[in-house]
C-alpha cells in the first residue's frame, strides 16, 4: 500500500510523509541527508524494504513539499531529530527501525541516544559519530576525531562556488555534477538515471529554489559520547569503500564508539545510492532488522 500525509511536527511546520508496505508490518523510518527530499531514497530500495516493513520516508523542513521556513524561523539540527520523532508520533508508531544517511545518520544517533525506547534498530550510512572518543586504528594508533579524514576537496570546491540564480535546467545539471562527485570514483556513474531522479524531485517539490538551511542550522548540543557507548539498541554501520564525504575510517570509528555496533562493507559505494549498491544495501538492512 502507498499512503501520503502532511504531518504537523512543530507550530507552523508540516512535513510531507509517505508510507509503503503493510500497515501492520514493523515500521522502518528512512531519514535522508541534508537538503535532501525523502524522494532521494530510490524507489527500488524503498520497495525492497517495504516487502517486509511499513516503510516511512519524509521530506525534512526546507526540502520537497515540507514547510520551507528557515529564513523566517531558524531552527537547530536537533530540531530535525525531533521532527523524525514527531513523524512517528503522528503515525502512531511506538517503535521503529531507523535507517539514516549522512545527516540522517546523525539524526538517527540522536534518536537512539535520547529515545532508545522508540528505536528497534538503527542502520547508519555515510555519516560520522556524534562522539569525542578518538578513533583507534588496527595498528593501535589513536586519532582525535577532528583529525579524521575530511570531505573530498572537489566537493568542497563545488559547494563554495555554487552559482546563484540558476534556471531549472541549470539547477538540474548542477545537481547531476554534484552527485557525480558524491558517487565516488569506484563505480560507473549513470548520469541519466541521476538526472531522471532529480527531475522527479523537482516535480515533487514544485520549484527549483535552493535552500542552505541545513548548512546554516546550529549543530550545538549534538555530541552523545556516553549515550552511544552505553546503548542497547542494535546498530549496523555501512562502510562505503569509495565514500568521499566521510571516508572509511569514519565507519570503523562509528562501530568503535557505539556499543555492540556491527559493520557491513558495500564495495564501490560512495556517498550516494546508485542501482548497483541497492541490492547489497537492502539485503544488509533486512538481515539487520530481521535479527
Domain total of the chain? 1
User: CATH no. for residue 272?
Assistant: 3.40.50.1820
Q: Give me the domain span that covers residue 58.
A: 2-290
27-39 confidence digits (pLDDT tens): 999 999 999 999 9
CA distance 67 to 59: 9
Q: How far apart are the C-alpha atoms of 76 and 235, rounded to whole Å?
A: 25
C-alpha distance from residue 115 to each of 91, 95, 107, 290 (Å): 17, 10, 11, 21
Would the pLDDT of 1 be above 80?
A: no
Cα dihedral 257, 261, 265, 270, rounded to 10, equals -50
pTM above 0.85, yes or no: yes
pLDDT digits (tens, 9 = 90+) for 158-189: 999 999 889 999 999 999 999 999 999 999 99
Residues 226-275 pLDDT 10s: 999 999 999 999 999 999 999 999 999 999 999 999 999 999 999 999 99
Q: CA–CA distance from 159 to each of 4, 53, 155, 206, 272 (Å)?
A: 32, 36, 6, 23, 16
Calculate the alpha carbon distances from 166 to 122, 139, 159, 179, 204 in Å: 37, 48, 14, 17, 19
Half-sphere exposure at residue 148, Cβ-oriented, CA atoms within 13 angstroms: 26
pLDDT tens across 37-77, in order?
999 999 999 999 999 999 999 999 999 999 999 999 999 99
25 and 32 Cβ atoms separated by less than 8 Å: no
3-state helix, strand, coil in the chain (%, to 5): 40, 20, 40
Amino acid at each position: 500500500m502507498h499512503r501520503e500525509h502532511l504531518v504537523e511536527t512543530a507550530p507552523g511546520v508540516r512535513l510531507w510523509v509517505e508510507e509503503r508496505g503493510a500497515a501492520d508490518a514493523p515500521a522502518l523510518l528512512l531519514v535522508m541527508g541534508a537538503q535532501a527530499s525523502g524522494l532521494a531514497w530510490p524507489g527500488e530500495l524503498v520497495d525492497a524494504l517495504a516487502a517486509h516493513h511499513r516503510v516511512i520516508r519524509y521530506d525534512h523542513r526546507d526540502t520537497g513539499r515540507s514547510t520551507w521556513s528557515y529564513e523566517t524561523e531558524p531552527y537547530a539540527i536537533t530540531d530535525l531529530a525531533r521532527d523524525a520523532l514527531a513523524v512517528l508520533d503522528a503515525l502512531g508508531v511506538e517503535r521503529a527501525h531507523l535507517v539514516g544517511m549522512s545527516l540522517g545518520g546523525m539524526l538517527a544517533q540522536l534518536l537512539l541516544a535520547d529515545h532508545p525506547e522508540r528505536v528497534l534498530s538503527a542502520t547508519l550510512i555515510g555519516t560520522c559519530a556524534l562522539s569525542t572518543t578518538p578513533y583507534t586504528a588496527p595498528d593501535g594508533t589513536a586519532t582525535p576525531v577532528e583529525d579524521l579524514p575530511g570531505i573530498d576537496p572537489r566537493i568542497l570546491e563545488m559547494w563554495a562556488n555554487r552559482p546563484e540564480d540558476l534556471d531549472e535546467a541549470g539547477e538540474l545539471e548542477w545537481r547531476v555534477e554534484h552527485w557525480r562527485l558524491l558517487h565516488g570514483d569506484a563505480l560507473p556513474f549513470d548520469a541519466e538515471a541521476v538526472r531522471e531522479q532529480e527531475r522527479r524531485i523537482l516535480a515533487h517539490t514544485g520549484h527549483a529554489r535552493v535552500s542552505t538551511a541545513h548548512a546554516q542550522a546550529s549543530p550545538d548540543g549534538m555530541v552523545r559520547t556516553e549515550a552511544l557507548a552505553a546503548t542497547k539498541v542494535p546498530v549496523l554501520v555501512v562502510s562505503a569503500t569509495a565514500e568521499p564525504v566521510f571516508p572509511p575510517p569514519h565507519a570503523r570509528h562509528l562501530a568503535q564508539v557505539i556499543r555492540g555496533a556491527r559493520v557491513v562493507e558495500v564495495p564501490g559505494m560512495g556517498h550516494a545510492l546508485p542501482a548497483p549498491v541497492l541490492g547489497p544495501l537492502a539485503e544488509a538492512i533486512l538481515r539487520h532488522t530481521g535479527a
